[in-house]
Amino acid sequence: MSVAAPASTQTQRDLQRIYSIAELAREFGITARTIRFYEDEGLIKPRRQGLTRLYSAGDRTRLGWILRGKRLGFSLAEIKELLDLYQVDRTGVQQLRELLRRSRLHIEDLERRRRDLDAHIQEFREVESQAATELRKRGIDLAKD
């Protein structure tokens, strides 16, 4: 029977854990090639032991943020800038302020694009209606379409 380590010991152990590229790829559902790409872009910087990449808990956390940033539509340059802010200010305040600023910009852009899409949809509905009306005038049965 094993006894769980105290939380502080467990947390310390987690922070010292080393991950392989295969482990991270599997965990995040991405390819090793993707991880190497992010490394080439300077987003993560694993230690090396010969040809083997050794990823820290910090690298793992950064990878999670990189993937979340991509899902949210941030560019790799934006993600790098946001992640690098933590190196400048370990409190994370600068990073959070910049994340807030950029998130607001993305929200504004998405809302503008949604308005544009709604306008396009409305225009296509008008075209659809006009085409259907014209076909009915010509005696075409639209139930077949």
Q: How many helices (H) and strands (E) does the chain have?
A: 6, 2
If phi > 0 it is left, if psi is from -120 to 50 it is alpha, else beta; for residue 139 that is left
What confidence score (pLDDT) does residue 87 get? 86
**Residue 144's pLDDT band (cuts 50, 70, 90):** confident
Listed in order, the ranges of the chain carrying CATH 1.10.1660.10 are 1-73
Residue 8 reports pLDDT greater than 80? no
**Residue 3's pLDDT band (cuts 50, 70, 90):** very low
Residue 2 reports pLDDT greater than 80? no
CATH topology of domain 1-73: Multidrug-efflux Transporter Regulator; Chain: A; Domain 2 (1.10.1660)
Residue 66 reports pLDDT greater than 70? yes
Mean pLDDT, all residues of the chain: 90
Residues 6+ apart with CB under 8 A from 39: 45, 46, 53
Whole-structure pTM value: 0.74
Residues 6+ apart with CB under 8 A from 119: none
Distance CA 47, CA 49 (A): 7
Of the candidate ranges 15-24, 35-44, 99-108, the one whose mean pLDDT is the lowest: 15-24
The SS3 of residue 92 is coil
**Residue 77's pLDDT band (cuts 50, 70, 90):** very high
What confidence score (pLDDT) does residue 86 get? 86
Positive or negative, the Cα torsion across 119, 124, 129, 131?
Answer: positive
Q: What is the mean pLDDT of residues 70-88?
A: 93
Integer CA distances (angstroms), 7 to 11, 17, 56, in order = 6, 15, 19
Strands (E), the chain: 47-49, 52-54
Percent of the chain past pLDDT 90, that is, above it, reads 81
Q: Which tokens in the block code for residue 99? A: 């994340």
What confidence score (pLDDT) does residue 1 get? 43
